[in-house]
Structure formats: structure tokens, C-alpha cells
Structure 1
Amino acid sequence: MFDELLNLIKQNGQQAVVENNEVPNEHNEAVMQEAQTSIVDGLSNIKEPDQVNSLFESVRSGQAESNPAVQQMTNNFSGNIMQKFGINGSTAASIAAAIIPVVLAKMANRGGQGGASGFDLGGLLGSLTGGKFGGGMGGTTTSSSGGLGGNLGSMGAKLGLDKDGDGDVDLNDLTKMFK
């Protein structure tokens, strides 16, 4: 799951990181891993289904910069690469802006572009939240916090991920996405 995320970051970070003269070549891989850490930490901090919905709606509509969760991920990533690798502030900010919203948008679209067709957003969210948001976005997992798995599955339907029209997002939708 996390390897898929790192691969997605690498696919979308080539120009911003690897082809960037301001990033020393010996730090390319570590900068990409830092992007992964920032995204994972940011998603881990989301506690409510409405926040997940808001996050992915904003990135799908091209308004990622206005979403607080995206801003936090971008700022954390930028600050971390400045501190850890000595990258100047404007370069770090441009790298973060070129990677974080783009990767989140690809995640929101379930990897429909850029060769990331195997990305499992529901599985990633489920692993980050200890299953609280449901392992496959399938709507069958409930928790002590009131059935967030079901809420996430119905949110996935609102995001256009319900490919079979049954009102939830599950394995059936995944198989239809890639036919």
C-alpha cells in the first residue's frame, strides 16, 4: 500500500525533484520519501468522514490549495525538506506545490491517470485509521465511532467511485474501473 503511494509520488515528482538543480541528486529519494511521510501523516490526522470528503472534493475540483489538510501536508513537507536537506524556502514550496496536490488528486481519482491504476485509496485510508474508515471503502465495516466505514463508502459514491451504481464503493466498483 505505502509502496504504491511512493511509486505514485515518484511518477509525479520527477520534474519537481529529480530534474530540479536545487535538489542535490543524493537527496532525490529521501525528498520523495518525505513527501510520502507528509501525505501519510496528513491522512492519518483526518478523524472525520466529512474531512476526507472535503479533502478529496477540493483536490478533484482543483481547489486543493484552499483545503486545510492539503495546506498542512504541503507546509509540513516543505518545512521538512528545508530543514533536513537544506533546500531553500521558495524551492521547497514549489516542490511541495508540485507534488502534494497532484498526488492527492491522483489518489482521489483512484489512479486513473499516470500508470497508477492499481492504487487502493480505501485500503490506504483503512490502514492509516486502523480500519476505522473501512479496508476497501466497502461500507460494511463499522466502528465505535459510528460506522465511519459505511460513511466513507457512501462518500466514495458521491466522489464518482461507485461504478456499479449500487450506492457504495466496493470490490465490484474496483473491477469495473479498470475494464
Structure 2
Amino acid sequence: MFEQLTQLVQQYGNEVVVKNNAIPNEHNEAVMTEAGGSILLGLQDMVAGGNFGDLAGMLSGKSPIDMNNPVVKELAGKVTDNLGSKFGISSETASGVADGLIPQVLSGLVNKAQDPNQPEFNVSDLIGSISGGNSAGLMDAVSKYGGQFGLDQDGDGQVGMSDAIAAVSKNSAGFGGLLSKLFGK
């Protein structure tokens, strides 16, 4: 997923980073790479901290992806801090980069994750990356919240791998369909 996130950062970084006179040109690539890494690590930290509600709200489209979104605010803080400490960029400049880049990148990420016509975007990689490779932890969260989203396919009161497999096999959209059920699309 880091590659896909990096592509989105590159796509949207031209205006916010490359054309930003406050960022020396020799740092443009490194600043965009750091921003992408900070976004990914921030998402992982949110999952590790159990912040599933805000993430689900953002991924479902129920929460706008703007600077009022708690996920965007948290990630903006991380990116601002990391850019300032690693590149000596003023907090104002680093904040401007974060505020201009993160909503666009997350919107692009969510749009790609929800688009069945994006075969190069592997949703299972997204979950694996965000969950830090520990899909069991994510499945625990899905099990906890999954009944609210109609994911309990076998009616046993728990959401587990058997439910995921059943949902995927019933839905022609595959794993993307399972996620769309989870996130309300």
C-alpha cells in the first residue's frame, strides 16, 4: 500500500510541495516520501489505538475528508511534526503542506478503495498495511463492530474469517464488496 499512497502523494504534491518556495527543491522528493510514510504510520497508530469509529466514518463517506475530520486532524499533526523535525521546515510551512496534502491523498485513497474498476489497488493490502500486517487484530475489530454492518453471514453472533469468506463468495464485487458492507457503501 505504501507504493499506492506514495503515488497519490506524488500526484497531489506538485502544488503543495514542489511549487512551494518555502521548501528547498532538493527536499521535494524526501518531503513527499516523509508525508506518505507519516500518513501510513498515522493510520496504523489509529488502528493500534482502537480508533475504528473515526476511520470507518471517513472510509464510509459519512465524514467529509477535510480539516474538520478527526482522522485528517490527527494525521496533519503527525505530518507537520515530522516535516518540521526532519527537514527544519517552519511549522507554518509544514502545516500548510499537511493541510493541503492529506485531505486530497485520503480522498484519493478512499475513492480507489471503493472503486471496483481499480484492479491495481489491492484492498487487502490496504487492510494489511493499516493493521500493521496483523489482520487478526483487524478481524477482532470487525468481529466487535461487524454485526452492526450486517457482516455476520452465518448468524452465530460473531464476525470471523468464515463470514468474510461467505460474504466474498456471495458478492460478485469480492473483498471490495465485503469492505463496502463494513463501511456502509
Q: Confirm whether residue 147 of structure 1 aligns to residue 151 of structure 2.
A: no
Q: Write the distance in 2 (CA, Å) between the matches of 1:149 and 1:4.
A: 27
The answer on whether the counterparts of 2:128 and 2:135 sit within 8 Å (CA) in structure 1 is yes
- Which residue is 1:170 aligned to? 175
User: Percent sequence identity over matched residues?
Assistant: 31
SS in 2 for 1:31: helix
Q: Write the distance in 2 (CA, Å) between the matches of 1:117 and 1:94.
A: 33
CA RMSD of aligned residues (A): 3.6
The answer on whether the counterparts of 2:18 and 2:25 sit within 8 Å (CA) in structure 1 is yes
TM norm structure 2: 0.66
Q: Write the distance in 2 (CA, Å) between the matches of 1:92 and 1:40.
A: 17
Count of aligned positions: 155
Pairwise CA distance, 1:172: 6.9
- Which residue is 1:5 aligned to? 5
Q: Which runs of 5+ in 2 are unaligned?
A: 152-169, 180-185
TM norm structure 1: 0.68
The answer on whether the counterparts of 2:80 and 2:95 sit within 8 Å (CA) in structure 1 is yes
Q: Write the distance in 2 (CA, Å) between the matches of 1:63 and 1:150.
A: 23
The answer on whether the counterparts of 2:65 and 2:107 sit within 8 Å (CA) in structure 1 is no
- Which residue is 2:82 aligned to? 80
- Which residue is 2:95 aligned to? 93
Q: Write the distance in 2 (CA, Å) between the matches of 1:13 and 1:118.
A: 21
- Classify 1:6/1:120 alpha carbon distance in 2 versus 1 (closer, same or farther; 3 Å): same
Q: Cα deviation per residue 1:72-94 (whole Å; 9 max; x = unaligned)?
A: 11011112111211212222111
Pairwise CA distance, 1:148: 6.3
Q: Specify the code of the residue in structure 1 equivalent to 2:135.
A: G
Q: Write the distance in 2 (CA, Å) between the matches of 1:21 and 1:8.
A: 21
- Classify 1:14/1:148 alpha carbon distance in 2 versus 1 (closer, same or farther; 3 Å): farther
Larger of the two Rg values belongs to structure: 2
Pairwise CA distance, 1:167: 9.9
Alignment of 1:46-65 (within 5 A): 46=47, 47-57=50-60, 62-65=64-67
Pairwise CA distance, 1:42: 1.5
Alignment of 1:8-157 (within 5 A): 8-45=8-45, 46=47, 47-57=50-60, 62-110=64-112, 118-129=120-131, 130-132=134-136, 142-143=139-140, 145=141, 147=143
